[in-house]
Structure 1
Amino acid sequence: MPSTLTEATDPWCLRPGESAALLRDHPWRRFVVLGDSVAEGLCEPVPGYPDVQWADRIAAELRAVRPELAYLNLGLRGLRAHQVRATQLVPALEFRPDLALVVCGGNDAFRPAYDADAVDAELAAMVEALRAAGADVITVGMFDVSHSPAVPEPLRAGIGERMRRLAKHTRALADRLGTLHVHLTDHPLTADPSLYSSDGRHGSARSDAVAAAETLRILGTHLGQPIDQEVRVTGTGAS
């Protein structure tokens, strides 16, 4: 990443006025986030990018349209999918959300014994309960952190295979259950080292900015707002 690049000039981030257009007249008033450290917001600062994590960015943009929006982030680092469901689903439902973001499974996929079907079952249970309660649900195929320079070379192939299996399964689950799915795993920047933190497990402030842009574009598509496909597909056209 060129040292002069900032969020304002990054072609993969939101352009001025884009979020307002995407979320114009959106219906959501109660936004809840469930998940692990990605949901909680562990990201490494990057010069030129505000130190604001992904879910907080989404909430801020939703509030820019509806200042009364209530926001609850239950995300907690280190949790596996079954722990997210066991500890967060009940309080999430008690919050009475109409929009929910569910992101977990990464801690499962980091383990060689990753059980994709078991993680699928946990994700499905959360999504189905939230949908039954009347919430639109966002699911995520995360950036492939095996590209992080901090991941030891001997571990890179195995982690990458499992992260991509998690993303593939989550996308299939999203198709089956009708979620608003954000697929970051095959994003053109996924192999860019600037997206990852020095711990080899999390993202940077840049990755959170890019993820927020992609998430808001998915929400805009759901709302029927026009999306600039040149920006989305090629990353060109940013101000």
Structure 2
Amino acid sequence: MPELHPWSRYVAVGDSFTEGIGDPDPGAVGGHRGWADRVAEVLGSSTPDFAYANLAIRGRLLQGIIDEQAEAALELRPDLITVSAGGNDIIRPGTDPDEVASRLDGLVGTLSRDGATVVLFTGPDIGATPVLGRLRGKVAIYNENVHAIALRHDAVVADMWALRQLADSRMWAPDRLHFSPLGHHTIARMVLATLNVDNDLEERTLPAAAPRHWREARRDDVSWAREYLVPWVLRRVRHQSSGDGLGPKRPEAVSVIANER
């Protein structure tokens, strides 16, 4: 049984990462589970009347999160807020990580104004990821800004860059943009450790990956580009988002049901 912790109302804001995309679960609210649901389930297991809302929507850019989720989150009177935002901005061509971070700073200032514990995320090290790997420097600059923002606002940093397990391709969904169920599980454990919350989520060690011939890897890259990269680029060109027309999966702070675990 996890130990007691000081939080009773948790609100998660962000994009597809926090919504739980890549971790499909027909038994979960919205059809996706994800790291935030896992964290809420652990926190709720030791605290009576614990409530959880998840306002994240896939595809949201930072400004959309500011405009749509910040005040809505505060209206739920949380004492714990997680915010992962800016990743969709950073991977777009021509964006300035310092400018994106300056808007994140304002968002964190808003979310922390009522005294809630705010948890920020660094981006993962994507150096080994095809195509996106070339953005590694932008992610690193943004991450340094995240640490500085956390210092200014007395926030907590959940450091995905330091989570070296995420370098394993099995931590990622087939689209290579979202995390797999194993990746979400691993991130949930890291978030709980960052909050110094004991938990019963098991560490899952992976056997060594079987070596692959370069021709097989090349075929996989071509297949991935056709199935996932091209549609993603087309949505950007058409100014479309995978989250168009969607609302948050948990707009109200409600109890976390034990059998969701």
Report deviation, 1:111. 1.1
Report deviation, 1:200. 2.2
Alpha-carbon separation, structure 2, partners of 1:103 and 1:131:
14
Partner of 1:135: 116
Gaps of 5+ in 1: 1-16, 226-231
Q: Which amino acid aligns with 2:10?
A: F
Alpha-carbon separation, structure 2, partners of 1:29 and 1:217:
18
What are the Cα deviations for residues 30-89 of structure 1, in whole angstroms up to 9, with x where unaligned? 10011111111112469xxxx731000010001001141111100011111111001101
Alpha-carbon separation, structure 1, partners of 2:178 and 2:126:
7
CA root-mean-square deviation:
2.3
Partner of 1:37: 16
Partner of 1:229: none
Gaps of 5+ in 2: 26-31, 206-261
Structure with bigger gyration radius: 2
Match of 1:116 among 74, 84, 97: 97
Alpha-carbon separation, structure 1, partners of 2:126 and 2:164:
14
For the 8 Å contact 2:34–2:181, the answer to whether it is kept is yes
Q: Which amino acid aligns with 1:41?
A: G
Single out whichever of 114-123 and 209-218 deviates more from structure 2. 114-123
Alpha-carbon separation, structure 1, partners of 2:101 and 2:160:
18
For the 8 Å contact 2:166–2:183, the answer to whether it is kept is no
Alpha-carbon separation, structure 2, partners of 1:163 and 1:74:
24
TM superposition outliers: structure 1 runs of 4+ over 6 Å: none
Aligned: 1:183 with 2:159: yes
Match of 2:51 among 30, 54, 70: 70
- The size of the alignment, in residue pairs, is 195
Q: Which amino acid aligns with 1:26?
A: H
Aligned: 1:201 with 2:180: no
Alpha-carbon separation, structure 1, partners of 2:95 and 2:55:
23
Alpha-carbon separation, structure 2, partners of 1:144 and 1:109:
13
Q: Taking every aligned residue pair, what percent have the same amino acid on both sides?
A: 31
Q: Against the structure 1 CA distance between its residues 44 and 27, is the aligned structure 2 distance closer, same or farther, given a 3 Å change threshold?
A: closer
* Helix, strand or coil at the partner of 1:189: helix
* Helix, strand or coil at the partner of 1:147: coil
For the 8 Å contact 2:98–2:141, the answer to whether it is kept is no
Partner of 2:150: 174
For the 8 Å contact 1:40–1:73, the answer to whether it is kept is yes
Aligned: 1:80 with 2:61: yes
Single out whichever of 90-99 and 191-200 deviates more from structure 2. 191-200
Alpha-carbon separation, structure 2, partners of 1:122 and 1:67:
36
Report deviation, 1:169. 1.5
Partner of 1:4: none
* Helix, strand or coil at the partner of 1:132: coil
| TM alignment of 1:212-231, pairs within 5 A | 212-220=188-196
Q: Which amino acid aligns with 2:20?
A: G
Normalised by the size of structure 2, how large is the TM-score? 0.69
Report deviation, 1:207. 1.3
Match of 1:101 among 77, 82, 85: 82
Alpha-carbon separation, structure 2, partners of 1:192 and 1:209:
14
Q: Which amino acid aligns with 1:134?
A: G
Report deviation, 1:216. 0.5
Normalised by the size of structure 1, how large is the TM-score? 0.74
* Helix, strand or coil at the partner of 2:195: helix
Alpha-carbon separation, structure 2, partners of 1:202 and 1:96:
29
Alpha-carbon separation, structure 2, partners of 1:195 and 1:79:
22
